[in-house]
Amino acid sequence: MAATQQLTHVLPLGSRVNERGNLEIGGCDTVELAREFGTPAFVVAEDDICARARAYVEALRARHDDFDVLFASKAFPCTAVYRVLAEEGLVCDVASGGELHLALRGGFDAKRIYLHGNAKSLAELEQAIDAGVGHIVLDSFMDVDRVEQVAAARGVTQAVLIRVTPGVAGRTHAKISTGQADSKFGFGLDDARLAIERLRGSDSLDLVGLHMHIGSQLLSLDAYRPAVEALAALGDFSTYNFGGGLGVAYTAGQQPPAIEEYVEEKVRALHELIGTGKRLLIEPGRSLVANSTVTLYSVETVKRNVSTWVGVDGGMSDNLRPMLYGSVYEAFFADRPELAGSGETAHVAGKHCESGDVIVRDVPLADPKPGDILVTPATGAYGHAMANNYNGIPRPPVIFCKDGDARVVVRRETYDDLARRDV
């Protein structure tokens, strides 16, 4: 990809610069996609998601006999994404009644769904148990009481796991670190022991194992072993869910561990600290979908004062992560990707009425001008998931691309959609 070679690992697998000099995703020309479907738009290389799902399955199959790969669907809760990963044979992790609804709609068998959440409502628990959800991950003593109440009322025995905060924090941003003792998620180690004893006396709940998740966007694997060691001290169970968290490359300088290396670390910790005859679950989300997707924007304005501000037709309504926790991205123009990393230093600014609405800071952009199609890679995780209507902006479409064919799987919202729920 000429000068964009350094960005290859942040783009979807199979991306290339075509004969016109334009970036192609899934065999589709991104300049033509912008012309046909408008901007902003989430453009997904469908084969990229499939390839990463298969890489997880193959890496686990080579190292451990009894396992499942769960799609942590909060990363990209889109019916079409659920459908692709259900067809790939993955299991699903949902964190709300809405995600459960979408997962079922996308083709996941209820028995292959795990319900998470730190503040599950009674209605969500009733919805899950009535649907026949395979497992519920318990997050608090109140969770225990509520799930037991619903299961007993329906005369069923519900399989559950206990979410444990092992007192180990992964090296990541504080807002996406979850394994530390002072967390809104899960049971601390002492409370986990009490919950285990409590569940052993339940007629309606079947405790099959333990769950942990120490954080997201982890570029180092060194926190997993001490976290597994903490779980090992809680007793012997048939099932262990070691969560997700593998980081991805958002910028040319980021080099996350490979899927195989990540899986090897978790399997080794299980075998050495707990044992070999266990069911191992892992739940990747970001690392399954982030790099499958790019967002296309149109440049509306270019302003030069102290800095150069390249204003686009989206922003914090389609990518909230830079505003929430300072996430960084690359950016370049779809019709001159060979010039990625060159040009004047600029800030890519969104159109929203917030000074903090800046998608990418200090990025070299080659001769920005109104009408240019700007690409930000690695937006498959939490772009669509966190999209919102701030300033009355309709949410973007999701476009699947494969073998040169593009199809809309989530249409662009209209202004009428903004008022559709009015009464």
CA distance 96 to 119: 9
The answer to whether 48 touches 14, Cβ cutoff 8 Å, is yes
209 assigned ligand-binding residue: no
- Find tokens 């998601």 and name the residue: 49
- Vertex 119 angle, CA 118 and 123, to 5°: 130
Q: What is the DSSP string of 102-117?
A: HHHHTT--GGGEEE--
197 assigned ligand-binding residue: no
Helix (H) or strand (E) holding 24: strand 23-25
286 assigned ligand-binding residue: yes
Beta pairing, strands 358-365 & 344-349 = antiparallel
The answer to whether 224 touches 255, Cβ cutoff 8 Å, is no
Q: One of 50, 78, 92, 353 is an active-site residue; which one?
A: 353
163 assigned ligand-binding residue: no
321 assigned ligand-binding residue: yes
200 assigned ligand-binding residue: no
CA distance 333 to 340: 7
12 assigned ligand-binding residue: no
Distances (CA, A) of 114 to 67, 93, 243, 306: 14, 5, 12, 51
- H-only helix segments in 88-211: 97-105, 122-131, 141-154, 189-200
412 assigned ligand-binding residue: no
CA distance 259 to 241: 17
247 assigned ligand-binding residue: no
The answer to whether 375 touches 332, Cβ cutoff 8 Å, is yes
CA distance 369 to 405: 29
Q: Is 78 a catalytic residue?
A: no
Which residue ranges make up the annotated binding site for substrate?
286, 321, 325, 354, 382
Q: What residues are labeled active site?
A: 353
Which residue ranges make up the annotated binding site?
245, 283-286, 321, 325, 354, 382
Which residue ranges make up the annotated binding site for pyridoxal 5'-phosphate?
245, 283-286, 382
